[in-house]
Structure 1
């Protein structure tokens, strides 16, 4: 039995410092009325925590995951290895290479472990894509996207 207002999108980021860049994702999900949960855990510093969170996400009712990370940016791929859910990655802008390092790490996933990837600091688009994915099997989510796109055209 589904719990009303239970999170259906999981957001995970590698560091608290990613929170401001991910705020547009949360704001957009709020605007759509889509409940989500947020976790901060590094694939490198807290791999056991990431494993536990990702491998149980579908059991908690999470249907889509958004993973944000910078530099080596392995978080999205590690999460994708442990979940049957679609994973959308958000490469964080970095001081070293402007986020290109993060982007390239995310789009070079091995066969069998896919992730979708949005632009560097593309948190808002990650939320929109998450709701589009939800909309493939949920008329209310699909209606949110239809209305959103119609409002952009005005």
Structure 2
């Protein structure tokens, strides 16, 4: 069982995923990394999210950054979005991630900040382990 699922919208986002992986490895938390585009692979993404046993999803996406919102629409589990500085300095992705509609929450960290996404995932996991 992987505690954290990291989904990148593109292989180009690997440098950001590596930052998250380093933090998770240092904490001894298991993870799984996938490249699944919300636009190019919607059915594969849906299947992966629906069948994942991860407790938290970290989603890394640039441009329109649809990936975090799509993942959040498919699960009740926490979703953390990492905007990528692909265009417009990452502001397009940042705004896309933070402006989710009511009922489809996505936590958002800073642009290209995969490490902070992992730190947030660790806090979510710790909070969940304290439940009665």
Give runs of aligned pairs for residues 50-129 of structure 1, distance below 5 A: 50-57=45-52, 60=53, 62-94=54-86, 96-129=87-120
Q: Distance in 2 between matches of 1:112 and 1:121?
A: 25
Q: Distance in 2 between matches of 1:65 and 1:40?
A: 13
Q: What is the aligned counterpart of 1:33 among 13, 23, 28? A: 28
Structure 1 ranges of 4+ moved more than 2 A:
none
Superposition TM-score, scaled by structure 1 size: 0.82
Q: What is the aligned counterpart of 2:129 among 117, 138, 149? A: 138
Superposition TM-score, scaled by structure 2 size: 0.95
**Using CA pairs below 8 Å that are at least 6 residues apart, which structure has the higher relative contact order?**
2
Larger radius of gyration: 1
Q: Which runs of 5+ in 2 are unaligned?
A: none
Q: Distance in 1 between matches of 2:15 and 2:2?
A: 21
Q: Which runs of 5+ in 1 are unaligned?
A: 1-5, 140-154
Q: Aligned-residue CA RMSD in angstroms?
A: 0.9
Cα deviation for residue 11 of structure 1 reads: 0.4
- Work out the number of aligned pairs and report it: 130
